[in-house]
Chain A
Amino acid sequence: MDVSQQFSAVILSASALCVLLWMILIGFASIRLDEFRQRMFAIRDGLFDYARSGNIGFDQPAYKLLRKSMNGFIRYGHRLSFFQLVITFCRWHYTDDQPVFSWRAQWEDALSKVSDEKVRKDLMKIQAESMGVVFGRVILGSPVLMVAMAGIGIALLCRDGWKSTRDFRRVSAEKTFKLFSIDTDRLEDEALRVAA
């Protein structure tokens, strides 16, 4: 390889690297955000249709709280990444900003006001579905979390064997969050805070 060939190889590699960086950091991130919001909108619309068909009143606290939480996730979906979570946890640790712990108590209180057991279960399922989308957004956006989840997934397979894809994905994601001390209730708290 002569001097000019070496030079052209440098130019082509550097330009390809720039394009790759743009794709990963800007282009792909934008697609992922759109996808996240789209999926969250679909769940929110499902909740609306569920209430419209008479299962739960629009003025019920459980409906309002669930919708508010989803609105928060949609609004600040761009800040829902492992990097942003680390920044948020550092902010809570080193500055005066403190998390507001309100989700769990509010949610349990709202659920207790729902008299129908089936409706309560359905609402919990919708909430789990929205958290599943949040899990996907956070984990698939970070190579560190992806590798950790793959490891945990393999360990779970070896221990419990295969049961169902949905459960496997959910349990692996929850254990990955636990491994990195990410509390899902804190995410809901933040979603509620920003949607207020």
Chain B
Amino acid sequence: MGKKDKDKNKEGAKPTSLKIFNYRRYMLQRSFWLAGKHGRNLIFTAGVCYCVWIIADALKAFAGKTSSAHMAFSVLADVRFVYTVSMAVGAAGAGMYLRERNLHRKTRERLAGRITDLEKTIDPSRTSSQLTSLGLTRQEDE
């Protein structure tokens, strides 16, 4: 057996199923996973940061031109009727929605178990969507 054949045998002896850890691919995979999981929160946080930056910029621009007490007072004084009404209606709507949603979740929690048990008597191999009893995404599926 020549040297070349020996080398070939050595290469052939390597387990082909063993994957070489690819750091670049792993990082890409994790990046996609993170972007998918936190993308929306990231956009929201970026938006809030932008708003804070605008306010800070405005504060800097007006620094020295007017006193902080005057500015705080002027903001309150400038809250117009239309703005107040829209904010109040919006907040009331959001509050009512949240209350209704909580009631809906409680009802779901109360009835889901019963429905599952009844369905299992008819179909013992019944498969589940794996949501929580409140009908929410499980922590590990986020």
A interface residue numbers (CB < 8 A to B): 3-12, 14-15, 17-19, 21-22, 25-27, 29, 31, 34, 37, 41, 44, 48, 51-52, 58-59, 64, 67-68, 70-71, 74-79, 83-84, 87-88, 90-91, 94-97, 195
Nearest-CB distance from B100 to chain A (Å)? 11
Q: Report whether B54 and A10 are in contact in the complex, using a CB–CB cutoff of 8 Å.
A: yes
* A37 to B55 Cα, complex, angstroms: 39
Residues of B within 8 A of A37 (CB): 131, 135
Nearest B residue (CB) for A41 = B129
Q: Report whether B71 and A87 are in contact in the complex, using a CB–CB cutoff of 8 Å.
A: no
Q: Report whether A96 and B131 are in contact in the complex, using a CB–CB cutoff of 8 Å.
A: no
Nearest B residue (CB) for A83 = B39
Residues of A within 8 A of B141 (CB): 75-76, 78
Proximity bits, B56-77, A CB within 8 Å = 1, else 0: 0011001001100011001101
Query: What are 15 residue pairs bridging A and B, where the CB atoms are less than 8 Å apart in the complex?
Result: A3-B62, A3-B66, A4-B78, A7-B58, A8-B77, A9-B78, A14-B54, A21-B43, A25-B43, A52-B122, A78-B137, A83-B39, A87-B35, A87-B36, A95-B25
Residues of A within 8 A of B129 (CB): 41, 44, 70-71, 74-75, 195
Proximity bits, B113-142, A CB within 8 Å = 1, else 0: 000000100110111111100010100011
